[in-house]
Amino acid sequence: MKYIFLFLLMPFLSQASYGNHDADELHFRESVNITAHKYYLSVSNLKYNAKAGALQMTSRFFIDDLEDVLSARADENIILTEDGNLTKHKQLIGDYFTSRLRVKVDGDLIPIDYLGSEIDNDQLVLYIEIPVDREPLEIEMRFTALMELFEDQKNMVHLKIRGERKTLLMVAKKKIDSVKF
């Protein structure tokens, strides 16, 4: 009942003045779009681990998006949330990410090691190592995961090297990003 009352009052409320702004300038109530928009974003964290002699990277992807791209690649329906399927498809997941992630450290292309993954709610958490013999001064990355499926895909990598925090952002129009420390 209170919603009907507010609905009936809307024409009167829209005539009100808000400070120095007329209600006609603030038509936010009428321009609200209630349709959902899906964002395509992966977030990764990368840090140097001297004991492991590697850059260690953790990446998060929504499971349903990753299942779509892996299904298209394998030409079969891949469902990662079923028992045993992460182990069963470890090679497929690893091959996909090694083909979509290129890392240059101090100018040298370094092969990545896909260690494995685990499910965390609706996301797949990936564990990747990039072997290096010292803390890098410069990192260049090309990270195109899911970009073949979603043109709006963004892959963000937060780095912590030498006590500094920096971020790389790869998008369809700029697939390579770099940072110096």
- CB burial of residue 46 (10 Å; 0-12, 13-18, 19+): buried
Beta strands in 67-137 (DSSP E): 101-105, 108-110, 113-120, 123-131
| β-bridge pairing 154-161 and 41-49 | parallel
Tokens of 47: 């840090």
pTM of the model: 0.77
> 124-163: per-residue pLDDT in tens?
999 999 999 999 999 999 999 999 999 999 999 999 999 9
Neighbour tally for 8: CB within 10 Å: 9
> 22-66: per-residue pLDDT in tens?
444 444 334 444 445 477 999 999 999 999 999 999 999 999 999
